Amino acid sequence: MNFLQMKRSYNFLLFIAFITSAILTSQEPIDLSKDSSNVSTPFYSGLNGYFSYRIPTLIQSKKALVAFAEGRKNSTSDFGNIDLVYRRSTNNGKSWEPIKILVDKDTIAVQNPVPIFVKEKNKIVLLFNITSQSEHDILNNDYDPKDERKAYVTYSFDDGQSWSIPKEITRDVKLSHWRWHAMGPVHGIELNYGDHKGRLVAPVAISIEKGQKAYCMALIYSDDQGEQWKIGAIDNDLTDAVQSNETTIVELTNGHIYVNTRDHLGGSREKNRGETYSLDGGLTFTKPIIESDKFPSPIVQSSLLRWDSTLDGKHDMILFSTPSNTNKRENLVLMASYDESKHWKPLYKIHYGFSAYSDMVKLNKNFLGVIYETDDYKKIKFKRIKVKRPRLIEFD
């Protein structure tokens, strides 16, 4: 190859790199908010006599998609007569089977569903809380230990058709001095890479002392497919900028866990989320939790999901769902990271207008499912999205 040919080849490579960079750094998300053809409504006000449904999450097993929510009997309030309910779909969310009550404790609140799928056994592990007190009372008032928020786990081996009797695991996943204790609310993960492959990990929102400004978060884990649970990494720093709360996690290709948390009245309004990592399978966090301006979120729960991985022969791609107005819960968007959480770019606009809590699931190699609250908490919608991967050009 002569000098002129080498120069042309070099310029061509620079051009390709520029085009690839432009594809990956575009700031304008693809607008899917007007497309209602792939939308269903698994939960809505009035369904089965519930005033509203909130806190959606979902999981895909081998034969069914299972969506969970809190069925709130009398209002949209976070406390009161609340049941844990679910619906199944066997056609990727195009339609849903009749709603079923998973746990009903009369007038006591059953909350915070966190599903995890164990692929090897087609096992759905579901974590949740039960409480007889409001969040305000738990944070601010003295109470008898028997009235603390309690944690439970249940399982399904038949794609959500039947469930085991819930088992209490409060003392395994909650330190006695923690006051607030709220699972997720978002799906947990099974680790697929590294030394802790097979471990189940779930995030928990906690408070570590009396008062409104002691919010923190922790990770809990299981090394036996959800039977026994332990407390792992704990954020107990009340001096940093981030008042961590509801948290979502994803595994990186190096086996580390990326942690993205709601900053509840901690930092500035432009930085409503915090970030950190666990390098040891969820046992400890790296410090400090960084106040992040990468995300356009208000103070709200959000969701992470791995889409593809170079370890599976694909390009690395992690997704993040969040409302996109720092001051209001509205305009749900999907963001993507192609470098294992370092940088994030808008990918899709999912919903225009009011939108709040959300969760995501990979339906198959082409389609993503997003479940989210909308219409002032009157509806929980589900949208199927065909994910278009960025065109990356590789050279031998």
pLDDT at 269 over 80: no
395, pLDDT greater than 70: no
What pLDDT score was predicted for residue 388?
Answer: 83
Pick from 144, 232, 130: nearest CA to 182? 130
Does residue 291 surpass a pLDDT of 90? yes
Per-residue pLDDT, 390:
60
- Averaged pLDDT, 172-189: 97
If you compute the radius of gyration of the chain from its CA atoms, what whole number of angstroms results? 21
Two tokens, residue 119: 């692929």
pLDDT value of position 189: 98
Kindly report, residue by residue over 53-112, the tens digit of the pLDDT: 999 999 999 999 999 999 999 999 999 999 999 999 999 999 999 999 999 999 999 999
Contacts of 6 (CB under 8 A, 6+ apart): none
Q: In degrees rounded to 5, what are phi and psi of residue 23?
A: -65, -40
Q: Is residue 191 part of a domain?
A: yes
Q: Is residue 18 pLDDT above 50, yes or no?
A: no
The whole-angstrom separation of Cα 186 and Cα 198 is 19
pLDDT tens-digit readout, 139-153: 999 999 999 999 999
Tell me the sheet residues that pair with 348: 30, 334
Look at residue 191 in the predicted model and tell me its pLDDT: 98
Which residue has 């990979």 as its token pair? 362
Our count of domains for the chain comes to 1
Q: Is the pLDDT of residue 187 over 50?
A: yes
Residue 389 has pLDDT above 80, yes or no: no
2: in domain: no
Query: What does the pLDDT look like over 367-379, one tens digit per residue?
Result: 999 999 999 999 9
Instruction: List, edge to edge, every strand of the sheet that includes 257-263.
Output: 244-251, 257-263, 273-278, 290-292
Q: CA 326 to CA 381: how far, in whole Å?
A: 22
Q: Are 102 and 162 in contact (CB under 8 A)?
A: no
Tell whether the model's pLDDT for residue 393 goes beyond 80: no
Domain assignment present for 1: no
Q: Is residue 66 part of a domain?
A: yes
What is the per-residue pLDDT across 207-252, written as a single tens digit (0 to 9) for each? 999 999 999 999 999 999 999 999 999 999 998 889 999 999 999 9
Q: What is residue 342's DSSP assignment?
A: S
**Is the bond preceding residue 29 a cis peptide, omega within 30 degrees?**
no
Q: Indicate whether 8 belongs to any domain.
A: no
What pLDDT does residue 1 have? 53
Residue 4 reports pLDDT greater than 80: no
Report the relative pairing of strands 30-31 and 345-362 from DSSP bridges.
Answer: parallel
| pLDDT at res. 27 | 65
| CATH number of domain containing 225 | 2.120.10.10
Question: Which pLDDT score, from 0 to 100, does residue 99 have?
Answer: 98
Is 148 domain-assigned?
Answer: yes
Spatial separation of the C-alpha atoms in residues 17 and 22, rounded to whole Å = 9
Domain membership flag for residue 271: yes
Q: Name the helix (H) or strand (E) containing 189.
A: strand 189-190
Mean pLDDT of the residues in the chain: 91
User: Whole domain around residue 241: which residue ranges?
Assistant: 32-386
Any residues with CB less than 8 A from the CB of 291 and at least 6 apart, and which?
A: 240, 241, 242, 263, 266, 267, 268, 271, 274
| DSSP 8-state assignment for residue 164 | P
pLDDT band at 288 (very low <50, low <70, confident <90, very high): confident
Residue 108 has what DSSP assignment?
A: B
Q: Which residues of 287-312 are buried (b: 16+ CB within 10 A; e: fewer)?
A: eebbbbebbbbbbbbbbbbbbbbeee
Q: Residue 146 falls within a domain, yes or no?
A: yes
Instruction: Check whether 394 has a pLDDT greater than 80.
Output: no
More confident residue, 199 or 266: 199
Q: What is the pTM of this model?
A: 0.91
Q: Considering all CA atoms of the chain, what is the largest pairwise distance in Å, rounded to the nearest integer?
A: 83
179-198 average pLDDT score? 96
